Amino acid sequence: MLSRKVLLSLLAGAIASLSLPPFGIFPAILCLAYPAMQFARQEQRPQALRVIAAMGMGWFTASTHWVAHSLLVGEAEFWYLLPLAALGLPALLTLFWVGAGAVAWRYQRSAAARVGWLLFGLAIAEFARGHVATGFPWNSPGYSFSAHLWLLQSASWFGLYGLTFLALGFAFAPSLWWVGHKRLAMLFIAIPLALALMGGFRLGGEPVNSTAVKQVRLVQPVIAQAEKWDRAKRGQHLSHIVRTASAKTPIPQLMIWPETAFSAFASKDGSLLTAMAQQALPFDGHLITGMPRLDNEGRLFNSAALVDAEGQIKAVYDKRRLVPFGEFAPFRQFLPFVDVIAGPKDFSVGTSDRLFTVPGYGKIALLICYESIFPDHIGRGEKRPELIVNITNDAWFGRTLGPWQHLAQSRMRAVEEGVPMMRVANNGISAGFDAHGRILGQIALDSVGTIDLIVPPAIAPTIFTRYGNVGFLGLLVLAGLLFLRLDQKLLIGQ
């Protein structure tokens, strides 16, 4: 039977996740102080790790339960896999936190140092979660900084992983106070407040640019996921996309359709793509659309293509970050049920350049769906784009937390890089953001339509653009030195 401390830690983790989008209740993350305090006070490692496991399961189950919704799309014939999706994924992600707790608990000479090393370890664990086995940094605590636009500006200095360290420091501040280290607690409380004020000044010094003349049309067709790959309805779906895209005039010179909007192979149905482009675009226009692609070796890619008004493909980008169990199946030979989740054929990892050069718009960096959750994937120097385009299909998520979380993650990429972002979903929330994350306009979930948005300029390269995760590493070094000192000075029980 689970102890009261474990159950309360589970609840604390769940409530703390309310700091994440779409709720954005930033102070809710302070609930993590309770399991951190209980962890530091435990006399046995198994007891301490049960507390951390409960905290992680609460956080990840509450914030990623919507993943199971993908199994309910269509006829829901795979409903029996719901427990695996709803609890298996959180359990897997929780292992990163438990590993951090196992290392932190070794520092037994002071409760304050143990809390500090837990913070240190969790920050590293979140970085590892973003990289191990293709990575899955969804709902990292750093996304709690999306709660307010002023706070979000910190992403341009520290990036997601630096914000994760600072968010956890804020969360654990009450724990540090309770163990007698009040000055350090006050420091961790003060840092987000100071960053919010600095963010406000940053926004005040960079007013919304209303003089931009370039426009782009975002097209959200809302094709039902259960019907999307029905070949008998392909013509109907593609006609619907063209009608939706060209319903309003004048049409901007750049139009963006979502992930796999062209649901055929251009190598086999090129005439169909040509006809669609000619109907939808002005004579000097260009289209960015998602499509599946087969290469000469028969490999399957999830791709984006730049198409001109004559229907000619001018550039192709093949997705590099694939969704585990969505676009490829790890250990397929050992998992006989995996075909029902990932399909019988894996997508291949792309190697092409993600930059498109579009006349009148300059360099555009492509992110396909899941790729937008990863920081530091946009080029620097000559490869730095004027615009980021994220095409996606969030129809799998339904009316859950997923579409809003995915939107917030894309928004943070714009702020990190100082480059405007246009995000286009089949269903979900299509939107545009300027280089500071301010919303330029959006199409609501489940709404068929288009929106024409100005393309504001990118700003000067941010600190994160220039130096990547150096800010995060700097925070770790400073914290490591500080916690080593605490571990030497304090004794457990003081």
Report the CATH number at residue 449. Answer: 3.60.110.10
- Contact status, residue 468 vs residue 427, Cβ threshold 8 Å: no
Decide if 348 is inside a domain.
Answer: yes
Q: 126, 259, 371, 417: which one is catalytic?
A: 259
Decide if 463 is inside a domain.
Answer: no
| Same domain flag for 142 and 280 | no
Q: Tell me, what's the pLDDT at 109?
A: 65
| Same domain flag for 274 and 375 | yes
Decide if 111 is inside a domain.
Answer: yes
Compute CA distances 297 → 294, 301, 302, 319, 455, whole Å.
8, 11, 15, 17, 38
227 is catalytic: no
| Same domain flag for 134 and 65 | yes
Q: What is the pLDDT of residues 345-373, one digit of tens each?
A: 788 888 888 899 999 999 999 999 989 99
Q: What is the pLDDT of residues 288-322, one digit of tens each?
A: 999 999 988 889 999 999 999 999 999 999 999 88
Domains in the chain, number: 2
| Same domain flag for 263 and 195 | no
31 is catalytic: no
| Same domain flag for 483 and 438 | no
| Same domain flag for 179 and 293 | no
| Same domain flag for 95 and 161 | yes
| Same domain flag for 148 and 58 | yes
Task: Please report how many Cα atoms fall inside a 13 Å half-sphere around the Cα of residue 328, on the Cβ side.
Answer: 19
The gap from C-alpha 319 to its chain's centroid, in whole angstroms, comes to 15
| Same domain flag for 196 and 278 | no
Q: Tell me, what's the pLDDT at 328?
A: 72
Give this prediction's pTM.
Answer: 0.92
pLDDT classification of 410: cutoffs 50, 70, 90: very high
The gap from C-alpha 73 to its chain's centroid, in whole angstroms, comes to 22
| Same domain flag for 367 and 472 | no
| Same domain flag for 44 and 66 | yes
Decide if 494 is inside a domain.
Answer: no
- The DSSP secondary structure of 81-137, one letter per residue, reads GHHIIIIIHHHHHHHHHHHHHHHHTT--S-HHHHHHHHHHHHHHHHHHHTTGGG---
Please determine, for residue 336, whether its predicted confidence score (pLDDT) is greater than 60: no
Q: 5, 214, 228, 319: which one is catalytic?
A: 319
Q: 369, 371, 416, 417: which one is catalytic?
A: 369
Return the number of other C-beta atoms located less than 10 Å from residue 156's C-beta.
25
**Domain encompassing residue 398:** 215-458
pLDDT classification of 492: cutoffs 50, 70, 90: very low
Q: What is the pLDDT of residues 370-403, one digit of tens each?
A: 899 999 878 888 889 999 999 999 988 888 999 9
| Same domain flag for 92 and 36 | yes
pLDDT classification of 332: cutoffs 50, 70, 90: low
